[in-house]
Amino acid sequence: MIALVDQEGNIRCRYNKENMPILYYSGLNYEEKEGTMPKLNGKYHPDREILIEDIKKLLK
């Protein structure tokens, strides 16, 4: 699991459809696009793009 922390030491997050905070990003590889079946050599990384997008927002 990966947490995104800002320069003041606060964990930054986004919210899901139910308005609940999503505090951690998965660093795992997955067998399928939905990210429900972890696999060491899986080719899907569903949280990677979201994490990159959120890092860019923090760097602005």
How are beta strands 24-25 and 11-12 bridged, if at all?
A: unpaired
Q: What is the pTM for the complete model shown?
A: 0.69
Average pLDDT over the chain, rounded to an integer: 90
- Across the range 34-50, mean pLDDT stands at 89
Confidence label for 21 from pLDDT (cuts 50, 70 and 90): very high
| Terminal Cα distance for the chain, rounded | 24
pLDDT at 48: 87
Residue 31 or residue 49, greater confidence: 31
Give the three-class secondary structure for 39. Answer: coil
Q: Tell me how far apart the alpha carbons of residues 60 and 51 are, in angstroms, rounded to a whole number.
A: 15
pLDDT at 5: 92
